[in-house]
């Protein structure tokens, strides 16, 4: 079984992080702040590999400065 198949530890951890984001109210179209910069959640980062993977940075947020990947600890719902 490969690490990217459903049911593996890596897949489960990503699902847990995405569920935690939704439980915190960080759903698509939710307005948020990253520090003093306002933005809107536009999606979820489902990347399983790389420097900015979805486990660490599960949110895609659009701000006036562009789109960024954010961790749950970096944003506040407004």
Q: Is residue 64 part of a domain?
A: yes
Domain presence at residue 15: yes
What is residue 40's three-state secondary structure?
strand
Backbone conformation region of residue 10, classed left if phi is above 0, alpha if psi is from -120 to 50, else beta: alpha
Structure confidence at residue 7 (pLDDT): 52
Answer yes or no: is 58 within a domain.
yes
pLDDT band at 6 (very low <50, low <70, confident <90, very high): low
Does 65 fall in a domain? yes
**What confidence score (pLDDT) does residue 2 get?**
42
In the predicted model, what is the mean pLDDT of the chain? 89
Rounded Cα distance, 60 and 54, in Å: 10
> From CA 8, how far away is CA 48, in angstroms rounded?
12
Q: What is the pLDDT of residue 12?
A: 78
Instruction: Confirm whether 25 is domain-assigned.
Output: yes
pLDDT digit string (tens) for 33-71? 999 999 999 999 999 899 999 999 999 999 999 999 999
Given this model, what pLDDT does residue 1 score?
39
CATH number of the domain to which 73 belongs: 2.30.30
The total number of structural domains that make up the chain: 1
């Amino acid at each position: 079984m490969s690490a990217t198949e459903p049911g593996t530890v890596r897949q489960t951890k990503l699902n847990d992080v995405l569920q935690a984001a939704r439980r915190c109210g960080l759903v698509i179209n939710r307005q948020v702040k990253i520090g003093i910069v306002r933005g809107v959640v536009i999606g979820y980062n489902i990347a399983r590999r790389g420097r900015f993977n979805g486990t660490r940075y599960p949110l895609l947020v659009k701000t006036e400065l562009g789109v960024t990947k954010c961790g749950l600890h970096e944003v506040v719902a407004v």
